[in-house]
Structure 1
Amino acid sequence: EPMADRRGASMGVEYHDTAPVTGVRTQLLSLVRNLVENGVKYSDGGDTVRLTVTRRGKEVEVRVSDEGIGIPEGDHSRVFERFYRVDRARARDTGGSGLGLSIVRNVVQRHGGSVELHSREGQGTTVTVRLPSKATT
């Protein structure tokens, strides 16, 4: 939340019927941190970034949504590549190396999950991660 405060964004966190996920704790924390930091980084003052964790059958869904600048459709397929930046000029303003979503994808793959991105330019971005739950339904 300190980063959100500095950018003037607000943070919302929701947990719904969650279940444990087996994995490397530091990697899973890195996954969530990268998603939240991206949401905050590309949001303006007054925008909300939401982290939602929900059990869906045998999976746990981690969803981060923002109301920020969004990602042009032509860049959707490349944002998970290492060092890829949507806009070099914007990269200078926001910082970062273009590794955040690449790290997310790598952690998700190592944990047997999936990741998808939905974004509309000017309307925000939602990244949804699904990881196998260690709990039985």
Structure 2
Amino acid sequence: MEGMRISSKEFRISNVSKKILQDTIEKAIAKMLGTQAFHIKKSGIKESTIDKANLVNIYFTAIKQESCKILKDTWSICIDNVRYRLTPAYFAPGDLEKRKAFRGEFFGFDPDHNTEKVMEVLQAHDPRHTF
């Protein structure tokens, strides 16, 4: 995939701003996984097909099976107060389409609310991703 071999322990964060430092991304992943180990491949930062000048896809590997279970059940990650789509690295566009069957729409949020605030408000509904 994108010139790399992919295993079932590898995950992708899609369309991340190039302005975000790798350290910030690593802290966001660590916050989600706690003490579970992971690593971002040296070749794991690829330009996004949507906007090559400004966005990248981040590929990282979860070391333990417990981490994989957490990540497969998580559809997004908060990095710098912005939600980014998180998927297994092997996901194809059709797999993302299947997730749309579980989409709900909510109205009445203040335009100043960021996606992290929306996730917090909707916590009782167990959301997987916001946009």
> What TM-score do you get using the length of structure 2 for normalisation?
0.31
> What TM-score do you get using the length of structure 1 for normalisation?
0.30
